Chain A
Amino acid sequence: MSTGPGILAPVTALGAATLRLLGEMGALFLFLADGLRLIFASPKQIPKILNQVFVIGSKSLFVILLIGVFTGMVLGLQGYYTLVKFGSEGLLGAAVALSLIRELGPVLTAIMVTGRAGSSMAAEIGVMRITDQIDALDVMDINPMAYLVSPRIAASLISFPLLTAVFDVVGILGGYVTGVTLLGINEGVYFYRIQTSVEMADITGGFMKSLLFAVIVATVSCYQGYFTHMRRDGVGPEGVSNSTTSAVVLSCVFVLVADYALTSFLL
């Protein structure tokens, strides 16, 4: 008895989708490997990397400060009204600091930088692709990966931990404003609890996350822009628009998935 094509169709579709996904992931990893290798291709990479540190890092600073301080303030507020139920409001400093350093600092920084710099990486490289600028680099014997992608990955690896550190510090200060200034927790208790509860492993874990997120955001964003012309869902400006959207959505999804995986590993 033979099975009809109708019965096998969902299995075939699932198999095809799985193969496509695996192929795409493989291409992404090769793209990352090439990007990382070419960081060290020449000393001429240094000015390009510094320029991208300015674009990705320095230009994201304001939004990180803003989001960091309000996240800390909200944590202070929510934490206080939860802890006060158990008579433990003195632990507010520790709660705010640990939440920020272990989790919220790296994750929210990555998501904010994805929105601000990741989208611009995808759009800029995508426009360069559809206007022959990448082909122009190629025929000038300038490796487009080395010129466009590697400096962005390197700059992200430098910028993300620094921005995460800034986010953590202003977040703790935001928690201080709510907890100490507005809700009347003792200032000494707030900082003492931070000092006694935050360990070096919490800080290194947070920075490890930020380095992983830097690689994810830069690679996914550059990959989406670089292969804009291969998209099936749109060509030209529509392709760039779709690449930018994919870069932001996929970066955020991968950041959250990687966050869970790394947290499980670190705990």
Chain B
Amino acid sequence: MRATSGWDIRLDALAVGYGDHVVLHDVNALLPAGEISMIIGGSGCGKSTLLRHVLGLQRPMAGTLSVGGRDLFTLAGRDFRKVRRRMGVLFQDGALLGSLTLGDNVALPLREHTGLPKATIRQIVLHKLALVGLADYADYYPNQLSGGMRKRAGLARAIVMDPPILLCDEPTSGLDPVNAARMDHLLLDMQANFPGMTIVVVSHDLRSLDAIANYVLMLHDGTAAFAGPVDALRASDDPYVRSFLDRRVDEDQRTEVSLAPEVQQALDAWLER
């Protein structure tokens, strides 16, 4: 495992879940500082659950989770919040506050945590909105925007405090191909505009993987199936990795289920009425 400095994220023998239900166990990975890492895997494999733990919203069942070299869950309250304040988060649907305009949403962390004058905050907000192509929409409410625009606004809010870590939960899900590509470009722009920023993207979008990822953590069957550079992933001959990348279903995973003949007959008879 490559050692990095700065705001890297290290998972050591991590086990996460809900209540007594273990979703992931023995996950080991290093998401390097200053690079774009993708957490990929099939639906329901625990990607978003893992992200909630990285965000500190849930405590792991076992193992350690270090951010910037500090074990997140052994930090005292103030230090914990200090580390978490260095993370910007883009939630799946943006999670913008519906009662605030886009401008107010993006300004919220600045208003709460800084004593900057209103005019300065406004300038910062417009700059961040311009970075995501929404400078003209500062006075719109979230419900007046499309899903893609809400995600971009969520991205503007995530970066408003210039965080060294940016975490994105399914940034391209539900977007048409053009808007999905636009989101990928925005993430690349973030890397260019904020050198050293650690970007972690949770996704199962293979086109995004090709477009932006430097490093990959693949989850499967309750643990990490692969953790390493994207080139090593592409070269892997692991059966699950190959089936995921080639979008192929193994013969033994195909389902052939049919209704009992009398049930099918009853359904057909009803439909022919």
A138 close to chain B: CB less than 8 A: yes
Q: Tell me the bound Cα distance from A143 to B93 in angstroms.
A: 21
Given that A138-B57, A139-B84 are known contacts, is A132 also in contact with B95, CB under 8 Å in the complex? Answer: yes
Given that A132-B95, A133-B97 are known contacts, is A139 also in contact with B108, CB under 8 Å in the complex? Answer: no
Docked-complex contact A135 and B108, CB < 8 angstroms: no
Given that A141-B84, A142-B112 are known contacts, is A135 also in contact with B57, CB under 8 Å in the complex? Answer: yes
Contact of B112 among A131, A132, A140 (CB under 8 A): A140
Docked-complex contact B111 and A139, CB < 8 angstroms: no
Q: Which residue of B lies closest to A132 (CB)?
A: B95
Q: Tell me the bound Cα distance from A157 to B28 in angstroms.
A: 51
| Interface residues contributed by chain B, number (CB under 8 Å) | 23
Docked-complex contact B55 and A128, CB < 8 angstroms: no
A163 close to chain B: CB less than 8 A: no
Given that A139-B89, A140-B112 are known contacts, is A133 also in contact with B81, CB under 8 Å in the complex? Answer: no
A127 close to chain B: CB less than 8 A: yes
Docked-complex contact A136 and B112, CB < 8 angstroms: no
Q: Tell me the bound Cα distance from A133 to B95 in angstroms.
A: 5
A44 close to chain B: CB less than 8 A: yes
B109 close to chain A: CB less than 8 A: yes
Given that A132-B93, A141-B85 are known contacts, is A127 also in contact with B98, CB under 8 Å in the complex? Answer: yes
Contact of B91 among A44, A124, A132, A142 (CB under 8 A): A132
Distance from A91 Cβ to chain B, minimum over Cβ atoms (Å): 49
| Interface residues contributed by chain A, number (CB under 8 Å) | 15
Q: Which residue of A lies closest to B86 (CB)?
A: A141
B72 close to chain A: CB less than 8 A: no
Q: Tell me the bound Cα distance from A247 to B113 in angstroms.
A: 32
Docked-complex contact A131 and B95, CB < 8 angstroms: yes
Given that A44-B111, A135-B57, A136-B89 are known contacts, is A141 also in contact with B95, CB under 8 Å in the complex? Answer: no
What sequence of 0s and 1s flags, for each residue 19-45 of chain B, a beta carbon within 8 Å of any chain A beta carbon? 000000000000000000000000000
Q: Which of A103-160 contact B (CB under 8 A)?
A: 124, 127-128, 131-133, 135-142
Q: A131 to chain B: which residues have CB within 8 Å? A: 93, 95, 98
Distance from B93 Cβ to chain A, minimum over Cβ atoms (Å): 7
Docked-complex contact B113 and A128, CB < 8 angstroms: no
Q: Which of A186-229 contact B (CB under 8 A)?
A: none
Q: Tell me the bound Cα distance from A152 to B56 in angstroms.
A: 27
B87 close to chain A: CB less than 8 A: yes
Distance from B103 Cβ to chain A, minimum over Cβ atoms (Å): 16
Q: Tell me the bound Cα distance from A124 to B98 in angstroms.
A: 9
B101 close to chain A: CB less than 8 A: no
Q: B55 to chain A: which residues have CB within 8 Å? A: 135, 139
Q: Tell me the bound Cα distance from A251 to B205 in angstroms.
A: 47
What sequence of 0s and 1s flags, for each residue 105-128 of chain B, a beta carbon within 8 Å of any chain A beta carbon? 000110111000000000000000
Contact of B109 among A135, A138, A142 (CB under 8 A): A142
Give 18 new A-B contacts, CB below 8 A, not counting A127-B98, A135-B91, A142-B112: A44-B112, A124-B99, A128-B97, A132-B91, A135-B55, A136-B91, A136-B95, A139-B56, A139-B57, A140-B85, A140-B109, A140-B112, A140-B157, A141-B81, A141-B84, A141-B85, A141-B109, A141-B113
A-B contact pairs, 11 of them (CB 8 A): A44-B112, A128-B97, A128-B98, A131-B95, A133-B98, A135-B91, A136-B96, A136-B97, A139-B84, A139-B87, A140-B109
Using a CB–CB distance below 8 Å, which chain B residues touch chain A? Answer: 52, 55-57, 81, 84-85, 87, 89, 91-93, 95-99, 108-109, 111-113, 157
